[in-house]
Every structure is written in structure tokens, then in C-alpha cells.
Amino acid sequence: MASPIVYTLSSCPTCEDLRTEWTGKGIQFEERRVDTSQAWLDEALRYADTVPIVLHPDGRVVVGFEGEMG
């Protein structure tokens, strides 16, 4: 099964919360830090202008984590 793609920033506390919780729960995901790649930033901006952005394998897009945004 495909893993979600998560667009993050290195310095985003909400992104860190997502990384910590999902890693602790064993949730597999592909992280794309938009501050390390212009291509990933360009991709992320197609969906929203704030992080985290979660692209689920079923096509759903979720912006934020537990009601918070970076």
C-alpha cells in the first residue's frame, strides 16, 4: 500500500508534532521538506500555502495536523 506524502518545513512545530506522533505510532509516510527542495515547494503550493500538507494515497488532501498549521 502506498504511503501518504507529507510536505513539511524543518522549523515547523506542528510538522514536528506530526513526525513525532506518526513515527511513534509506526505510521509510514514520505516526508518532503519544502525548505530543502524548490521542486517540493512548488508541488506543495499546488495544494496550500501552509504546512503540514498530507496527500493521502486515496487522493484526499489534509492541511494541518490536529487543528494546527505551521
**Above 80 in pLDDT, residue 1?**
no
Assigned domain for 32 exists: yes
Q: What is the CATH number of the domain that holds 32?
A: 3.40.30.10
Range of the domain at 58: 5-63
Split into its structural domains, the chain has a count of 1
Whether residue 70 lies inside any domain: the answer is no
What is the per-residue pLDDT across 2-60, written as a single tens digit (0 to 9) for each?
999 999 999 999 999 999 999 999 999 999 999 999 999 999 999 999 999 999 999 99
pTM exceeding 0.95? no
What is residue 67's predicted lDDT score, i.e. its pLDDT?
A: 83
| DSSP E strands, the chain | 5-8, 30-33, 53-55, 61-63
Phi, psi dihedral angles at 53 (to 5 degrees): -120, 125
Give residues with Cβ within 8 angstroms of 12, minimum separation 6. 51, 52, 70
Helix intervals (H) in the chain? 13-24, 38-44
In a domain, 68, yes or no: no
